[in-house]
Structure 1
Amino acid sequence: MLNSSLFDAIPGVLDVAAPRVAPICVVYDSPHSGVDLPAGFHPSVSADMVLKATDTHVDALFDNAPATGAPLLRALFPRSFLDVNRAESDVDVEMLDAPWPHPVLGSAAAKRGMGLAWRFAWGDTLMHDVPISVAEMEARIATYWQPYHQRVAALIDGVHAKFGQVYHVDCHSMPAFGHALSPDPAGTRRPDFVIGDFDGQTASPDFVAVVVDTLRAQGYEVALNNPFRGAELIRRYADPAKGRHSLQIEVNRALYMDEDTRARSGDFAAVKANLDRLTEEIAAFAKARMAAAV
């Protein structure tokens, strides 16, 4: 069995739904579905604006994972407060009140204002009307980024140690159209799902195929790596040659929610039922690989 401490919650930071049946070699995480605003977070915009970037309800869409034998880790804080799917060094120095004394990645995302912490709440609206301190950014990393990454790494490592292989599913949602902060042009219509494997680098083709083929068989339009190929959470922990496979799933929000109110739409139940079936197909795939390794 996996170490039971891996399923302990950290209040305000993360929780983990433990497998409810015999564990399999799969781990799920939902890093952007958190809606709890930290007590020390004082943006100059409304809570609704802070949460506009949140992958609202994604944790619920994939909550069948524990029933298949896979843990589901989720962050409890908003993505725009601190984005654990960015590298620790992906700091947007333009939002700080002093020089950053640590390495800086300087990614395209950070330059758009979507770095480790977001400079813009949405569009061209600044998250903070004054720069934040270096100490505050360091505290966000220590309190939120590091515990989340320690836990996802421990879950992945624990499953890999038990089974000799692990399949990691990183769960996200995306607006129906490209926007001012996105890598695709504003107004670009997006497919129902985008599956990212870092352009073939983070997962075996058969793992990617079971996800893509299952969704397409359900009638969905599915793209691969465009416009999202995945980011830190799959890049950092994948090594297919060593049996460590990670992919990212982006679900189009228009399928299941009202993007303005973030309320679940009438189609939510049907989409969730289809994703329940996807988790079952992933479990069947994983069990077949486990049996083959015996």
Structure 2
Amino acid sequence: MTRRWLVTGCSSGLGRALAEAVTEAGDRLVATARRPAVLHDLATRFPDRVTTVALDVRDAAQCEAAVAHAVDRFGGVDVLVNNAGAGMFGALEEVADDELRDQLEVLAVAPSRLARLVLPLMRRQGFGHIVNVSSLAGRIGFPGLSAYVAGKYALEGMSQVLAAEVAPFGIRVSAVEPGGFATGYGDALAETATRVPAYADVTRDMWAALRGMGDNPELGRPETFAAQVLRLVEADSAPVRVPVGADAFAYLEAAEAAARDELTAARALLSGPATATATAPVT
């Protein structure tokens, strides 16, 4: 089956690798980026299968135009991949309201908007697949990434609810959770405008690890991520949340063990003998 894909954030990293894999597999693709000129080589190599569109996912009109272009060029959308993202580094106390809103706009509001735009198409045809590219940060809180973690947790919650809502229409929803991949994500991280020196020691190790991602030979290759997404889309069924990368499974297994310990501790706290309450002094 030849599928029609709409993928956001194709300019580099995981999105670019996925765009390459989709077209090499023989599928048709609407590849988007804020500066679509960076995709010119891909469209030139596959002129019958690739079309490019300018898309800043924070712009509602551009989102509508991208979906309309997919309909005009290919007749619809079978697979939507919400891959576009941006990171903000800073402890929660350092994150301003507008910085948090921007993270949520990119990581949660935009995927919801694009899903809303393609769902009528998918319901009419009786099938479709929405793939939301999440992160380990959608299940684990990393110091220094409070705003990013908030956005990814929101994306995962939305994905789980949406999966239940659209299953009766033959539509699947996946939240893909990449582990460490050698991309420019860390180098592209924005820093909060406000820095509080007290948090320097708390976030230093995380900052160093993120900045070194692109050159780390121990991390996964974007091409591996792309191959796994294609495998997911081709599968007859799959869990809603799908970790990608060997380290992703290791991190999440540790996180699940910690969550079980936390649940046990909470149950013990609330089911044990009540603690004595302070009484007012007798006067």
Q: TM-score, normalised by structure 1?
A: 0.36
Larger radius of gyration: 2
Q: Which has the higher helix share?
A: 2
TM-score, normalised on structure 2? 0.37
